[in-house]
Structure 1
Amino acid sequence: MSPRRAAVLRDGGERSLREHLIATAERLISERGTAGLTVRAIAREAGVADGVLYNHFADKEELLAHALKAHVRTVERGLVALPEPGAGTVAENLRTHIRYGLAMHKGILPAMAGLIGRPEVLARFADAGEPGEDWRDRLLGYLAAERELGRIAPGARVEPAASMIVGVCHEAVLALLFGGSPPEPDVDGLVATLLDGLSP
């Protein structure tokens, strides 16, 4: 370990330099957003030379993708826990999933807004996760599990149901992104519509 690296990680416990760089980039994204975020700014904040980043990441886009994933996880840790299949009622659980999705999207919007013109970062971000990790996957898993439990219809098409919920969350975020006033989502109406098609 170089003296420079040792100084950077002195208080970092077991955290690797790669993890330190991701955490630094995540903090900058949380504080400043992604617009105009440079390798130099990340390196200076991390206390390393600019070139060190390229020892751990193929390029700036890879680092930003991992930092965005970390930022999403940080936002999600501040939200209510998602319900377990079989607990409570399906209607209330769907309301919780919808409110969770709306809050999560609103929380990550500032970070994503600066990347509208950076599709390569967004593509890396989409590829950086593990299957079942993101909220949409968990929502889909929840619906499939409720179908297995018989609490929704055996033939219920859970993919379109999940797409409807995600679409409502995206609509609210896109309205904010383009400077409009997002419509107040009718959560109860959406749940009622979904249950009309999902109920056994």
Structure 2
Amino acid sequence: MTASADADSPNGTRSVRERLIDAAEACLRAKGIRATTVSEIAEAAGVSRGWLYRHYPDKASLLGAAIVRLNNAFWTESNQILSGCDGFEEQLAVGVRLGRSAYDSPGALVMQLRRDEPEEFAACAGAGVQGLVPDLGLFWRPYLEAARDRGEIHADTELDEAAEWVARVEISLGTVPGETLDPDDHEAVLRFMQRYVLPGLRVAPPHR
């Protein structure tokens, strides 16, 4: 393959970087981080290993770029879905479903990788996207703020603390089996939010 064939194209075709990230995502989906090799990515992208290294110095930096794109896709997709929900309690219930769909949604692959290969994920993604609870807390904070402004939760709710608590609830409901709640039953999850989670957010927080 010649350099001209490998060069980034400005005329509508996907650039080498885009093709490499596409190939990296496909390999991550099929094999995970540990089992993916640079040679496989280069072959899938239709470039030589030497040309791959012109764009990314090592496997970690290439997979890191793919993970960042996946991460952005997950939050964008989730925001679009939750923005169409009617009220905060519905958003909370749908959030559990989004977490449960990690194996089905391309954007949510990053959640699966973070859970299944945490050390490899941290090495590739870097400190910026490796913390699941902080990420989810930041994601839920604007929804809590909007719920507070609409009067759905208490006006004095400490948003950062509440966002972390909501993140932990969502993770627990989506991943830890229980005996009284089916996390795949949307109506049951909604009732759980109405009975237990929302009341905790509607009372005045205690003074420290």
Compute the TM-score of the two structures, normalised by the length of structure 1: 0.70
- The 1:31–1:83 alpha-carbon spacing in structure 2 relative to 1, beyond 3 Å, is same
Per the TM alignment, residue 42 of structure 1 is displaced from its structure 2 partner at its CA by: 0.7
Q: In the TM superposition, what is the alpha-carbon distance from 1:62 to its structure 2 partner?
A: 1.8
1:96 counterpart residue number: 94
In structure 2, the CA distance between the partners of 1:52 and 1:170, relative to structure 1 (3 Å rule), is farther
SS of 1:13's equivalent in the other structure is coil
Q: CA RMSD in A?
A: 3.5
Q: Give the direction of change, closer, same or farther, for the CA distance of 1:78–1:32 in structure 2 (3 Å limit).
A: farther
User: Aligned ranges for residues 35-184 of structure 1 at < 5 Å?
Assistant: 35-72=34-71, 81-83=81-83, 88-104=86-102, 108=109, 110-112=112-114, 115-118=117-120, 119-123=122-126, 126=129, 136-171=137-172, 182-183=177-178, 184=182
User: Alignment identity in percent?
Assistant: 26
Letter in 2 for 1:62: S
- 1:13 corresponds to which residue? 12
Q: State the partner residue of 1:179.
A: none
**d(CA) in 1 for partners of 2:9, 2:114:** 29
Structure 2 letter corresponding to 1:99: R
Instruction: Give the Cα separation in 1 of the matches to 2:31 and 2:53.
Output: 22
Residue deviations 1:95-150, cap 9 Å, x none?
122322332377535534553332312425617xxxxxx65433211111221233
- How many aligned positions are there? 184
Structure 1 outlier segments of 4+, above 4 Å = 72-80, 172-175
Distance 1:136 1:55, change over 3 A: farther
SS of residue in 1 equivalent to 2:17: helix
The 3 A distance-change label for structure 1 pair 81 and 15 is same
Aligned match of 2:195: 192
- Cα distance change of structure 1 residues 150 and 95 upon mapping to structure 2, 3 Å threshold: same
Amino acid at match of 1:138: F
Do the aligned residues in 1 keep the contact of 2:157 with 2:201 (CA within 8 Å)?
A: yes
**Residue in structure 1 matched with residue 206 of structure 2 by the alignment:** none
Using the TM superposition, give the Cα deviation of residue 167 of structure 1 relative to its aligned residue in structure 2, in angstroms.
2.0
Q: Is the 8 A contact 1:24 1:46 kept in 2?
A: yes
Residue 26 (str. 1) matches residue 32 (str. 2):
no
Whether the 8 Å CA contact 1:95–1:191 is kept in 2: the answer is no
Unaligned runs of 5+ in 2: 204-208
| Alpha-carbon distance change, 158 to 120 in structure 1, aligned in 2, over 3 angstroms | same
Aligned partners of 2:129 and 2:158: how far apart in 1? 24
Unaligned 5+ runs, structure 1: 128-133, 176-181
